[in-house]
Structure 1
Amino acid sequence: MTAELNARLEPTGERWTLVFIRELRKPPEEVWGALTDPGRLERWAPFTAERDLGTTGDTTLTMIDGDESTPLPATVRRAEPPHLLEYTWGDDLLRWELEPSGAGTLLTLRHTLPGEDGLGPMVASGWHLCLDVMERLLDGEDVRAVRGEEAKEHGWEDLRDRYAKMFAG
């Protein structure tokens, strides 16, 4: 089962920022661990991390697609546990904001993309699936990341089309 669509695209100078919002059932401290711990990241994210992302400084995030991996330079610019994590990933900027919401967390991801807004629906559908997996991981399920071409087997194309329609309208 997949969560409802809750995202928008905002112009950011010459770039676009995907603002992706998700309600999670776990408190910010637990979500923070899923966002920063390399062992947990590799279970849900589109990349692996060479170190814990909970402290500032340089690192490498390696994008995984089947047997292919692409290491990209990254810099953790802000790490304010358990509420704010911001890092570069290649030419992208990701900012994760965690707010308490009842017994859970309101997660807001601001993913600033290089180039034109046509990437928005593709990136949104990818994060949608990743966060579906993260939510299941936080709930204690034994899950693994859905990355690259494999995402097509999990409804990525339908999600992309739905986000494209939502962003156009």
Structure 2
Amino acid sequence: MDRDSFRPGPLAEVTTEPGWDLVFVRDLRHPPEKVWAALTEPDQLARWAPFLAGRDLGTPGDTTLNTVDGDRTSDQPATVRHAARPTLLEYTWGDALLRWELAPAGDGTRLTLRQRIGDPGLAPMVAAGWHLCLDVADHLLAGHPVGPIRGAEAKEFGWAELRDAYAERLDREPPAR
């Protein structure tokens, strides 16, 4: 698939639960070990994630995640709190807390992302961002990379429509445009 024909896939399951502002569940067609590598290895993260990682995230400890938006980057402190290959990865990213849970699902992986955002009203926007990133990761893992879609560029790939759809699913008002 080329970048020009890239379109977002179907919506993921989204909810909230006590302690988490967003619970985002997505089935990927790749085994947990392969998904784990995409979540932890800096060279793979650079090809799909909204940030660049200062080191492999597969072991606990401090690092820096550089958020990317066009030509701008912003360093954010991060700490990998838990890393249990290939089932659980939990880290801070600035003020956010992310917990990635990977479970076998047939030949693929059921990926559950739990994220503490700080402002629950931002959950639809965060869900839309992760949706696009994980679509890109899925293509990358299938051997058909489209390149990362980050920051303002996401608006060119259906981010606003995803945000509105996730706001409806989360029973929240979409943010003002």
Q: TM-score range by the shorter chain?
A: over 0.9
The answer for the alignment partner of 2:106 in structure 1 is 102
Q: Which runs of 5+ in 1 are unaligned?
A: none
Alignment of 1:111-122 (within 5 A): 111-115=115-119, 117-122=120-125
Structure 2 counterpart SS, 1:114: coil
* Residue 135, structure 1, aligned to residue 138, structure 2: yes
CA RMSD of aligned residues (A): 1.1
Q: Which runs of 5+ in 2 are unaligned?
A: 1-6, 173-177
Q: Which of the residues 33, 43, 46 maps onto 1:29?
A: 33
Alignment of 1:2-13 (within 5 A): 2-5=8-11, 6-12=13-19
**Poorly superposed stretches of 4+, deviation over 3 Å:** none
Q: Number of aligned pairs?
A: 165
Deviation at 1:46, TM superposition (A): 0.4
* Residue 83, structure 1, aligned to residue 105, structure 2: no
TM-score (norm 2): 0.90
What is the rounded CA distance, in whole Å, between the counterparts of 1:127 and 1:99 in structure 2? Answer: 18
The answer for the alignment partner of 1:144 in structure 2 is 147
Contact 2:89 2:101 in 1 (8 A): yes
Deviation at 1:118, TM superposition (A): 1.2
Structure 2 counterpart SS, 1:39: helix
- The one-letter code matched in structure 2 to 1:107 is L
The answer for the alignment partner of 1:157 in structure 2 is 160
CA offsets, 1:17-53, max 9 Å, x none? Answer: 2100110111000000000000000100000001000
- The one-letter code matched in structure 1 to 2:8 is T
Q: Which of the residues 62, 68, 73 maps onto 1:69?
A: 73
Structure 1 counterpart SS, 2:165: helix
Q: Which of the residues 17, 24, 29 maps onto 1:20?
A: 24
Deviation at 1:165, TM superposition (A): 1.2
The answer for the alignment partner of 1:93 in structure 2 is 97
What is the rounded CA distance, in whole Å, between the counterparts of 1:98 and 1:151 in structure 2? Answer: 25
- The one-letter code matched in structure 1 to 2:39 is L
